[in-house]
Structure 1
Amino acid sequence: MQITVLAIGKTDNKELALLIQEYEQRLKHYVKFNFELIPDIKNSKNLSENQQKEREGELILNQLQVSDSVVLLDNKGKQFSSVDFSNYLQKKMNSGTKRLVMIIGGPYGFSEAVYRRCTEKLSLSKMTFSHQMVRLFLVEQVYRGFTILRNEPYHHQ
């Protein structure tokens, strides 16, 4: 299985970007993993929230393949403990999922077209986090999930 994380816009904070890269490197020992950035919409200040979501949605949909299992990071999504999330990843691998695409949207969320395309929605917390921080949290949780599956000492209960 390949896991792809799609995110709108670049990671502005250099320290945060370095931490994300560290977990990306760690993940390569467990799974084919890549983090893809979709460039910010130019002149977004001149667009309404809806227009911005629609434009971002078009860019997101262009990155997807027909067979992708698409998971949106959404505040109304399902929440997992880290152990439950590791079991979720195992089920995806067991089911023959070729590419699991986890999408972090822009500041206003997703267009209706992206919601229609998704397979599932996932929430990292009931709290609201910046889109920049969510990138690190997600990549770390995917890494944690694989260490749990391998019974490695990273995760403690």
Structure 2
Amino acid sequence: MKIKIICFNKVDKEFKDVISYYSDKISKLCNFEIIEINEVATNNQTKNIVENMKLLSNKLNVLIENRFQPIVLDVNSKIVDSIEFKNLIENNKDTGTGNLAFIVGPSDGYSDEFKQNNYTKISFGKVTMPHLLFRAVLFEQIYRSFKIMNNDKYHK
């Protein structure tokens, strides 16, 4: 199984240790890749934000390969718990392509065109958090999912 994380910007030093910790653990359980896209700053003018959303969403579409099932992380989507998240990974491993691409969107959000793609969309809840903190939560949940699948005691 291969898991790809597509996200924006580099990891700040404050989050580097926790993200590296989980990245190392996940890498021992599956083929794991992180793709970081540089985000373009906008000046909060509506036209520039919309144009930026389209530009960044187009970059995402290019990075999503046909052999990967895209999972879009979006706060406005269906909320999943740890078991449902594990089932998503496990079902893909057992009956899907075996390849998942988790997409953590840009700070301005996804373009309307990108949202219309027939990608699986999930949320970890309605709270807003910084992208790097969310990335750490995502990595922890991926690791937790593998531990649950392997009947390890980590998740309890």
TM-score (norm 2): 0.90
CA RMSD across the alignment: 1.7
CA contact (8 A) 1:70 1:100 kept: yes
Provide the secondary structure at the position in 1 that maps to 2:39.
coil
Corresponding residue for residue 87 of structure 2: 87
- In structure 1, distance between residues paired with 2:129 and 2:118: 21
Corresponding residue for residue 31 of structure 1: 30
Corresponding residue for residue 18 of structure 1: 17
CA contact (8 A) 1:71 1:118 kept: no
CA contact (8 A) 2:74 2:123 kept: yes
C-alpha offsets along residues 45-94 of structure 1, whole Å, 9 cap, x if unaligned? 37622111011112111212123211111012222221222122111111
Matches within 5 A, 1:96-111: 96-111=96-111
Matches within 5 A, 1:62-73: 62-73=62-73
CA contact (8 A) 2:2 2:100 kept: yes
Count of residue pairs brought into register by the alignment: 154
CA contact (8 A) 1:9 1:38 kept: yes
- In structure 2, distance between residues paired with 1:117 and 1:28: 29
Q: Percent identity?
A: 25
Gapped regions of structure 2 (runs ≥ 5): none
Runs (4+) of structure 1 exceeding 3 A deviation are none
- In structure 2, distance between residues paired with 1:72 and 1:87: 16
Matches within 5 A, 1:2-151: 2-11=2-11, 13-41=12-40, 43-45=41-43, 48-151=48-151
Provide the secondary structure at the position in 1 that maps to 2:154.
coil
- In structure 1, distance between residues paired with 2:30 and 2:76: 27
TM-score (norm 1): 0.89
